[in-house]
Amino acid sequence: MKTTRQEAAVESSRRTFWWAVLVAAMTMPTLASLAYFVRLEGTAWVAPAYLGAKVLQFAGPVAALGVLLAAATGPARPRRCVALGLGTGIAGAACTWLSYVVLFRDGEMAATAAAAITIKLADFHLDTLSRYVVAALLISFLHSWLEEVYWRAFVYGRLRRLTSPRWSLPLAAVGFAAHHVVVIAVYLGDASALVLAFMSLPVVLGGVLWCLLYRNTGNRLLAPWISHVCFDLAVMTVGYDLVFAD
């Protein structure tokens, strides 16, 4: 009986520890976005704060999952993973671009976003086309990989151990979307809460999609990463069209 109680106490302590870690992991990116996207706007601290926050965000999970990355990257069925990643990614990228062209391009909201993006690019010293292209490629390929490690392998993977599928999937998706909402809110300016919610919904759906791809390909990151790359490239193309296209 004593052993059983001790084991229960250890298990309770373990679960409490991991819940604390996950709450911090899911909220820190949002707090960091508020700092470097809002609080520090127009100062010389934007770029250092961004880089520092990303190092803090990714260093721990990437190091902790280092021994698992080979398994997470090398799928048992690579062709299926590539097909799922490209299929969902190209479809999402096409929807992103078409939605922008049909609903927002040349409108008031696009002009507001273009002005806000121009300011942010200056803050990050990315206000030339060559620097923007390099940053867009790094964000689309490297940063998306780090986000997959962080949000799918680490956050979602741990949530699945602590709670049911009914909760782990939406919690991971909302946590992933939260800090993106801060960025979207800055770019939309004084847009209503309804518009902000509408514009943020695709990010939540993307979080759900990539969790499902991760789970349904044997906890491998290849499919969600490829899909994520396609989405990010579409978003970066929209940014180019808003700021640099004639």
- Helices 78-99, 193-216: inter-axial angle, 10-degree rounding: 170
Which tens digit of pLDDT belongs to each residue from 38-96?
888 888 888 888 888 888 888 766 666 554 554 455 556 788 999 999 999 999 999 99
Count of C-beta atoms within a 10 Å radius of residue 101: 12
**pLDDT of 22 over the 60 cut:** yes
Distance from C-alpha of 231 to C-alpha of 201, rounded to nearest angstrom: 14
Which tens digit of pLDDT belongs to each residue from 105-131?
989 999 999 999 999 999 999 999 999
Q: Where are the domains of the chain?
A: 2-243
Which residues, in sequence order, are CB contacts of 241 under 8 Å at separation 6+?
Answer: 100, 105
- What number of residues does the chain have? 246
Distances (CA, A) of 201 to 100, 205, 208: 15, 6, 11
Confidence of residue 2 (pLDDT cuts 50, 70, 90): low
The better pLDDT of the pair 60, 13 is held by 13
Rounded mean pLDDT of the chain?
88
Q: Which two tokens stand for residue 161?
A: 């151990």
Q: Which two tokens stand for residue 56?
A: 């803090």
The mean pLDDT value for 131-145 works out to 95
Confidence of residue 174 (pLDDT cuts 50, 70, 90): very high
Confidence of residue 24 (pLDDT cuts 50, 70, 90): confident
Q: Decide: residue 234, CB within 10 A, 0-12 exposed, 13-18 middle, 19+ buried.
A: buried
Which tens digit of pLDDT belongs to each residue from 189-244?
888 889 899 999 999 999 999 999 999 998 889 999 999 999 999 999 999 999 99
Write down the pLDDT at residue 35. Answer: 87
Q: Are 226 and 85 in contact (CB under 8 A)?
A: yes
What percent of the chain stands above pLDDT 70? 90
Confidence of residue 21 (pLDDT cuts 50, 70, 90): confident
Q: Are 25 and 112 in contact (CB under 8 A)?
A: no
Write down the pLDDT at residue 70. Answer: 46
Which residues, in sequence order, are CB contacts of 209 under 8 Å at separation 6+?
Answer: 88, 92, 224, 227
Which tens digit of pLDDT belongs to each residue from 140-157?
999 999 899 889 988 999
CA 113, 118, 121, 127 torsion: positive or negative? positive
* Block residue for tokens 């514009």: 199
**pLDDT of 183 over the 70 cut:** yes
Distances (CA, A) of 6 to 3, 88, 108: 5, 47, 63
* Block residue for tokens 């200056």: 122
Which tens digit of pLDDT belongs to each residue from 201-215?
999 999 999 999 999
Count of C-beta atoms within a 10 Å radius of residue 195: 14
The whole model's pTM is what? 0.86
Identify the DSSP state of 107. S
